[in-house]
Amino acid sequence: MDANSKVGVGAYLLIPEAVGFSESLQHKVVLKRFGKTSSTQLELETLLWAWGQVSDVSRQTVIIYTDSQNILSLLKRRSRLEASGFRNKEGKRLKHEMLYRCFYRMLDEKGGELIKVKGHSIQADKDEVDHLFQLVDRASRKGLRELSD
């Protein structure tokens, strides 16, 4: 995400359960440009876009790996957000209300499981999921750099 231009690049990688890590998977990372966004908004936009794309292809339960604390916290915040009508303590609508509503609707309609990834761990501590996460992260950063060139 480029804070100056408010442009970000989201990325996802669909991996069938039986496939393990391979550098050749880098060519299967799917990218999308998002404009007029923030880092929080970009995380949600990317998740919703990818979830929609993937669940249209996959008949199985989708497992989503993310390092986004914001997205993971939405699971715990659901009842409070819905009870408040997606408003803050002052009664104002939350900035990302529509994205939150879409997130919960997709969760209900398409199902899925969200799993926390540490994100940027040191190389020696990385497992297969960490390597895949790094592959996707690098692809999105490269996509953003290419937009700037």
Domain count, the chain: 1
In a domain, 44, yes or no: yes
The angle subtended at Cα 51 by Cα 49 and Cα 52, nearest 5°, is 65
d(CA 132, CA 26): 9
pLDDT at 121: 61
pLDDT at 15: 81
Range of the domain at 137: 8-148
In a domain, 2, yes or no: no
Beta-sheet strands, E only, within 26-94 = 30-34, 63-66
Task: Please say whether the beta carbons of 98 and 45 come within 8 A.
Answer: no
Q: Tell me the pTM.
A: 0.85
In a domain, 27, yes or no: yes
In a domain, 1, yes or no: no
Q: What is the pLDDT of residues 92-113, one digit of tens each?
A: 999 999 999 999 999 998 888 8
In a domain, 139, yes or no: yes
Beta-sheet strands, E only, within the chain = 8-12, 30-34, 63-66, 113-116
144 or 18, greater pLDDT: 144
Structure confidence at residue 25 as a pLDDT band (50, 70, 90): confident
Residue 18 has pLDDT above 60, yes or no: no
pLDDT at 125: 67
For residue 131, the domain's CATH number is: 3.30.420.10
In a domain, 68, yes or no: yes
In a domain, 3, yes or no: no
In a domain, 125, yes or no: yes
